[in-house]
Chain A
Amino acid sequence: MLASQISKKKLKENKSFSLRHKISNHNGTGHFKSYFAPWFDEKENVIGTIIQTDNITAEVEKEHQVEWLQNILETKVEVSKTGWWEFEIATEQLTWCKETKRIHHVPDCFEPTTAEAIEFFKPGYSRNKVSMLFHKAIENQQSYDTNLMIITFNGEERWVRITGKPYVENGNTVKVFGTIRDIHDEVMAENKVKEHQQLLSTLVDSLPLNVYVKDLESRKILINKGESHYINKSKEEIIGKNDFDIYNEDTAKISREEDIQVMKHLTPIIGKETAITHNGKTTHFLTSKIPYFDLDGKVCGLIGMSLDISSIKKKEGELRDLIKITSMQNQKLIDFAHIVSHNLRSHSANFSMLLEFLKSENDPTERERITKMLSQASDNLLETLENLNQVVDVNTNTSVTKKPLFLKQNIVKVLQNFSAFLNKYDSQIINHVAEDIKVECVPAYLDSIILNLISNAVKYRSPIRKPLIIINAVKSKEGVLLSISDNGLGIDLEKYGDKIFGMYKTFHNKEDSKGFGLYLVKNQIEAMGGSITVQSDVDRGTTFNVYFNEES
């Protein structure tokens, strides 16, 4: 209706005009353009109107499409914050879109020249690079897409992603156009992530720990240098493998059970002592395993950390040995104190008592008896002193040197020396010791050890059996084990076990028992770094095992 009013008005003015209009019917909508021109007679009087109507449907639709595309482009620019620019080679005209200007922090009215545009790039790498790329795009018709740094109009340094593409006509570059996008925040965020990753991986790799991350199937999905070094395989070889692929069955089983416990019950294992044998070497670890959660808070594996404490363990063992030695030496000291406080005192007490008696005794026969006892007490004192001297010798004489001695040869020598004693009791001795077995020993001590053990075997013989003594020696990695077994009285070890090697301890009513031989033997063996143990059954016999330590 509006159109017809306008046309009436125009027609009254006798002027030509055109009009766009559309007609809708059941065939769809058509666009038309009509030209109105006044129709004159010869006298220039308007006698009518000449109307020419063209169908412009196709044109209008194309216009709409262009409009639509323009719209899309603007939306895209807005949403993606990607600006565009173009450079006309013939006119050297550079055009920036609004977004491009916004990225450069310049006002909308700013119209840059090429030189100015390039000046926005940070001096150095960014500026050189963009110059080169722009030049190549024109000369070599090469497209580009790269990240560079600009300094905006406000002086801010920002990362941008720029692209450029030549537009070629008949083999000549006529235009270069491209895009620019501010990616500064992304780059910074990415750098931060990279920095964090770098920090984390440096940290994890430099920890003096074996660190690994396992998935729900106990497959290793991440390991640090320590773990890779311990397993003795590269990271690539280990990733994706489970413990069964790496360790032996038993170790893997234990580890998998721990993993399941951690991941199923979400209870971490903290600082558990474990021993793992890998490639034939046992390592002691302080192991911790903690559940690993994904971003949704669901368990997706575990993080494991193992601290190698083998050297600490070794030191602990050494310390324990040292404590053992110290307490043993302490025991010896106590024994000594006891000997001094008891054995020596008992003699001196006897002297005092007897002398006191003598003072007031007038009966000559009684006086003679007391005097006899005094000399007996004196003999006893001398013997005790001699014993003490021997023990002190063994424990303080560090200068005595050990020599390699043939065990069998020495046993035979000792047996010969007291064959009279052995024959007296009809003793049978079976010497199974091999000719070639050698022990590192102080010669006098070895003689004393053999003599005491064999003479004890005969001394404490059974009243109903003839003494039978069997001597054996076994060589092993730790040293030589000498065992001397008899068929004698035996001893109730449950009752006397802790006293058998004690000083002045005797367990049988024998005139010649002093309770000194085994004490001396033990001291001699221990002074040479060995040890002695005993096994016995009452009325069956006794076996003494002497361990000669090869190392010390």
Chain B
Amino acid sequence: MKKVSCIFIVDDDPITVFGIKKMLKSVTKCDDVQIFQNGKEAYDALLERHESNKTIPDVIFLDINMPIMDGWDFLDELIILDLKEHIIINMITSSIDPLDHQKWSSFKDRCPYILNFKNKPIFKIEATDLGLMDMAS
């Protein structure tokens, strides 16, 4: 089983969080999985880790529609932060609104991190979603 050191799940829907956690179990082993209800909480935690030189998450599962700070706003803040670490961000949404897809593609161009777009429902998390591709090959 490939290991990922730290994963953030940012989503206000407990069922989705449950699903992601369950699916993660079958692809990787990770001791540090953190759950956040909205972008603000996740950002605050990330900032705290960055400032105190703690492990920055390798992978972030990010919902778009959340209270207080939504997925887009979180991305904006993260781009400004310009972390040197390699991060994979998987945007998970039930939206099939083409506008959201366009927005994602414009973010992808200016985001220093890997930015994936995944439509719900998801049934399986791939190793590539966790950046484990090179180790598998």
In the complex, the answer to whether B15 meets A373 with C-beta atoms within 8 Å is: yes
In the complex, the answer to whether B67 meets A509 with C-beta atoms within 8 Å is: yes
Interface residues of A in 308-350 (CB under 8 A from B): 337-338, 341-343, 345-346, 348-350
Closest CB in chain A relative to B35 CB, distance in Å: 14
A-B contact pairs, 29 of them (CB 8 A): A337-B97, A338-B95, A341-B94, A341-B95, A342-B65, A342-B93, A342-B94, A345-B120, A346-B13, A349-B94, A349-B121, A350-B120, A350-B121, A352-B123, A353-B122, A353-B123, A356-B123, A357-B19, A373-B15, A373-B18, A376-B14, A377-B15, A505-B67, A506-B68, A509-B37, A509-B38, A509-B67, A513-B67, A515-B67
In the complex, the answer to whether B68 meets A349 with C-beta atoms within 8 Å is: no
Interface residues, chain B, CB within 8 Å of chain A?
13-16, 18-19, 22, 37-38, 65, 67-68, 93-97, 120-123
Beyond the given pairs A341-B97, A373-B14, A376-B14, 5 more chain A to chain B contacts, judged by CB atoms under 8 angstroms and listed by A's residue number, are A345-B95, A345-B96, A351-B121, A354-B15, A357-B19
In the complex, the answer to whether A353 meets B121 with C-beta atoms within 8 Å is: yes
Residue on A nearest B22 in the bound complex, by CB: A357
In the complex, the answer to whether A507 meets B68 with C-beta atoms within 8 Å is: yes
Interface residues of A in 343-391 (CB under 8 A from B): 343, 345-346, 348-354, 356-357, 373, 376-377
Interface residues, chain A, CB within 8 Å of chain B?
337-338, 341-343, 345-346, 348-354, 356-357, 373, 376-377, 504-509, 513, 515
Given contacts A345-B94, A357-B22, A376-B15, contact A507 B67 (CB under 8 A): yes
Which secondary structure characterizes the binding site on chain A? helix
Residue on B nearest A361 in the bound complex, by CB: B22
Docked complex Cα distance between A349 and B121 (Å): 4
Docked complex Cα distance between A373 and B21 (Å): 14
Closest CB in chain B relative to A376 CB, distance in Å: 7
Docked complex Cα distance between A271 and B38 (Å): 57
Closest CB in chain A relative to B11 CB, distance in Å: 10
Closest CB in chain A relative to B25 CB, distance in Å: 11
In the complex, the answer to whether A338 meets B97 with C-beta atoms within 8 Å is: yes
Residue on B nearest A514 in the bound complex, by CB: B67
Residues of A within 8 A of B22 (CB): 357
Residue on A nearest B19 in the bound complex, by CB: A353
Residues of A within 8 A of B67 (CB): 505-509, 513, 515
In the complex, the answer to whether A350 meets B97 with C-beta atoms within 8 Å is: no
Tell me which of A343, A348, A509 has the highest count of chain B C-beta atoms within 10 A of its own C-beta.
Answer: A509
In the complex, the answer to whether B13 meets A350 with C-beta atoms within 8 Å is: yes
In the complex, the answer to whether B19 meets A354 with C-beta atoms within 8 Å is: yes
Residues of A within 8 A of B16 (CB): 346, 350, 353
Closest CB in chain B relative to A161 CB, distance in Å: 90
Residues of A within 8 A of B97 (CB): 337-338, 341-342
Docked complex Cα distance between A255 and B14 (Å): 70
Residues of A within 8 A of B122 (CB): 353
In the complex, the answer to whether B68 meets A508 with C-beta atoms within 8 Å is: yes
Docked complex Cα distance between A513 and B68 (Å): 11
In the complex, the answer to whether A509 meets B13 with C-beta atoms within 8 Å is: no
Residues of A within 8 A of B14 (CB): 373, 376
Residues of A within 8 A of B18 (CB): 373
Q: Which 9 A-B pairs have the closest CB atoms?
A: A349-B120, A346-B94, A506-B67, A349-B121, A352-B121, A345-B94, A342-B95, A353-B121, A350-B15
